[in-house]
């Protein structure tokens, strides 16, 4: 071992942050403080994350902006693990859902059979 060689790296697990690339056109649907669903792929369970902030510089090649999302501490978490994050991609709205077999087509128009 020589002088200046790293022998250990320390990190805090009291605050876990996920850094997610988001297409610039979707940023208008994301607000700091908003909660989003997060799955750390190694654990296969859903967590709730909070959008912390946007990094102020977009990737010049992809035009993606990195969004930082905080999640609760996880005992088995390790640096550089992968995660799936569900961010909003549009305005939330209420929709009526009907069973597929309730929709009938007559003369080129769809109707709901009740």
Q: Please say if the pLDDT value at position 2 is more than 70.
A: no
Q: What are phi and psi of 41, to 5 degrees?
A: -55, -35
DSSP three-state, residue 101: helix
The mean pLDDT value for 46-59 works out to 94
**Distance in angstroms between the alpha carbons of the first and the last residue of the chain:** 78
Q: Please say if the pLDDT value at position 58 is more than 80.
A: yes
Cα distances from 114 to residues 96, 98, 103, in angstroms, run 14, 10, 9
The mean pLDDT value for 87-106 works out to 87
pLDDT at residue 15, rounded to an integer: 76
Is 0.75 topped by the overall pTM?
no
pLDDT at residue 89, rounded to an integer: 84
Between these two residues, 90 and 34, which has the higher pLDDT value? 34
Q: What does the alpha-carbon distance between residue 98 and residue 41 come to, in Å, rounded to a whole number?
A: 33
Domains (range + CATH), the chain: 16-112 (2.40.30.170)
């Amino acid at each position: 071992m020589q002088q200046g060689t790293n022998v250990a790296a320390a990190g805090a697990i009291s605050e876990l942050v996920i850094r997610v690339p988001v297409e610039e056109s979707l940023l208008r649907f994301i607000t700091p403080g908003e909660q989003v669903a997060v799955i750390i792929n190694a654990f296969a369970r859903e967590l709730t994350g909070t959008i912390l902030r946007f990094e102020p510089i977009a990737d010049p090649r992809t035009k993606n902006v990195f969004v930082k999302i905080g999640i609760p501490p996880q005992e088995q978490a390790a640096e550089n693990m992968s995660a799936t994050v569900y961010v909003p991609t549009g305005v939330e709205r209420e929709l009526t859902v009907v069973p597929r077999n309730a929709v009938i087509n007559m003369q080129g128009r769809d109707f709901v059979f009740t």
